[in-house]
Structure 1
Amino acid sequence: MSKKLTIFLAVSMVVTIFISVIVSLNIGRKQFQQSTFVTKSLGSASPTDVGLNYENIDIAVGSRVLKAWYIPASHESGSVMVFHGQNESLSDWISAIEHLNQQGLSVFVFDYSGFGESQGEPSVAALREDASAAYGEFRKRVGHLPSYFLGYSLGAGILIDALSHNNMPANGVILVSPFSSIRDVAVQSGSVPRLFSFVVPNAYDNVTMVKSLQLPIHIVHSETDGRFPVWMAKKIYAANSNADLTIVPTPTHSDFLKSQHELGGAGEKLWSAVLAPMTSD
């Protein structure tokens, strides 16, 4: 084999590997966008269905407008800003809003860009901006009330990312059924082998980002969560000395938003753990 041919083959191999990596990364980014930001239209349910008065809020974020609800408690003891999960919108939170409100908590919940009736397209950067703008509206309404953040499922990652990049003071953070990182989720779901997890964008790396947070962090996770196994919550807990972790036996991941009647006893321990940091004073 001539020297020129050897060089040609070596260069061809390097170019082929380079192109393969670029293609794989593009596929990974596309899969991340499609599998992470699963949006949902706003349903017909509203807080008035359960007898609650609420304020319908428009939040301007650049050229787009987000939709939010603020549901004040009749006897306010605290407030909570909710970061919901994927494939959810405001209307999916009626039962949870009612339960939080019954404990004296005024509730602020908003739809991210592209979710519900909020304008725009979802992305990590856009949702980070959404969180900052929504926090400003939340703070206007709750004043000096004790305030907390509640992030559920994907919302836990959006919340941790927002707190890592924005100045958003509060009394504490409650993470319900969080995931450790998007890469871990991709491997856990079988979307990519561990060896090739690098093709998935390293966004929402909660274990790394949570290390810098100074707020008290309360993590609640179910042993029977089949989507995000409990070891993910344990990794987040181990990464921050301000965190505590409560592991409950049930319910499954998607049951959190069910009504108390539907959950029965399965949700009692979960909700007790969620509410404890916000109602203990």
Structure 2
Amino acid sequence: MNLSFFNTSKKAKCCIYLVLTCIFSFQFCQSASAFGNMETQLIYYPMKKNIVPMRMELQGKLQDTYFYSLDGVKLNAWYLKAQPNKPTVIYCHGQGENISLWQSVAQALADNGYGVFMLEYRGHGRSEGSPLETGLYIDLESSIKYLKEIENIHQNNIVLWGRSMGGAVVADIASRDRFRGVILESTFTNIRDEAIHLTSTGIMEGDRGFWGNMATKFVKTLPMTQKFDTENKIFKINYPLLIGHSVNDKTVPVGMAYALAKRNPNAQLYISQSGSHHSSEWLIGRALHFLSSLTPNLVNN
């Protein structure tokens, strides 16, 4: 047996330990970085193409706006100023979408005098940058700052509306501050629950394939760095909140809406018997009723 290592001086041993630690740390960081990149690619598939032309009814009303996020990313939004004594709705779309897909929402809000700010997240549509959970939160915070400082809209005259992943973004900001009201449409409890649902049902592939038991077990134990943990934030929203969901939603099961409502008993829960995850028409009427029920604000825009 070679005992030369045990006869090595303490100083030499320390150097050896240091080198081994550096090698291990480097390999660990490389693995963590690779995992982080894989996680990001699995979560986000932003739609930068297939931008639908603006409806003729909205042309000349919606202003095509560009502004910079708090961390310097150039963002795009469609903006329409509210009529007097009406709040402005910041609309946050879902993952794999862009603002041009939800012109029916913008049209309904505009027709009823509400202000509209359709936010395009970083990496989506015509916004620059790459999507990341913390980045999406910054984008919404930056939108609020833009409306307050550039458009002179008081925060108490702002309503946050988020659908699907946009609901998770809205829930985070809404749980840390106060606004006129909040609408969560087709929103999941957290990204792990949603990933388990998508893999176990095979929605991510037509014929289950890899997205079967193996993938479900994988996402159950995956040490996820991006959480979108709406379930553990929603109880902090202590002002008007509407949770809307369709029973026909296959992408985000309606059970998640019930779970979120259970976490915030003061929330209004609306379950529609029509619609799906990929439409919003089923919620528009109920959302307009919710908006009209909000206590008028004495703060002028």
CA deviations 1:129-181 (Å, max 9, x no partner) are: 1111111112343625732110011100111123345x4x3111000111111
* TM superposition shift of 1:75: 6.3
Distance in 2 between residues matched to 1:196 and 1:93, nearest whole Å: 31
Residue 47 of structure 1, CA deviation: 5.2
Gaps of 5+ in 2: 1-27, 200-210, 295-301
Q: Deviations over 1:2-45 (max 9, x none)?
A: xxxxxxxxxxxxxxxxxxx9999877644542232221126251
Matched-pair identity in %: 25
- Distance of 1:160 and 1:194 partners within structure 2: 28
1:146 maps to a residue whose letter is N
Counterpart of 2:288 in structure 1 is: 275
- Per mean C-alpha deviation after superposition, the further-off stretch among 230-239 and 52-61 is 52-61
Match of 2:41 among 1, 16, 34: 34
Aligned counterpart, 2:254: 230
Q: Which moved more, 1:69-78 or 1:225-234?
A: 69-78
* Equivalent residue runs for 1:72-151 within 5 Å: 72-73=81-82, 77-140=86-149, 141=151, 143-144=153-154, 146-151=157-162
Look up the match of 2:271.
247
Shift of 1:59: 1.7
State the partner residue of 2:227.
203
Cα-Cα RMSD: 2.7
Q: Give yes or no for contact 2:174–2:182 (8 Å, CA) kept in 1.
A: no
State the distance in 1 between where 2:61 and 2:142 align.
Answer: 23
Extract unaligned runs of 5+ from structure 1.
Answer: 1-20, 257-262
Alignment match of 1:162 (pick from 160, 169, 173): 173
Provide the C-alpha distance between the structure 2 equivalents of 1:59 and 1:163, rounded to a whole number of angstroms.
22
Q: Which moves more between the two structures, 58-67 or 100-109?
A: 58-67
- Alignment check: 8 A CA contact 1:37 1:86 kept: yes
1:57 and 2:65 correspond:
yes
Amino acid at match of 2:103: I
Q: For 1:66 and 1:135, locate their aligned partners in 2 and report how far apart those are by CA, in whole Å.
A: 13
Which one-letter code corresponds to 2:221 in the other structure? F
SS of the aligned residue for 1:193 comes to helix
Q: How far is the alpha carbon of 1:94 from its aligned partner?
A: 1.6
State the distance in 2 between where 1:75 and 1:63 align: 32
1:224 deviation in Å? 0.8
TM-score (norm 1): 0.78
Q: Is the 8 A contact 1:25 1:200 kept in 2?
A: no
Which of 125, 141, 152 is 2:163 aligned to? 152
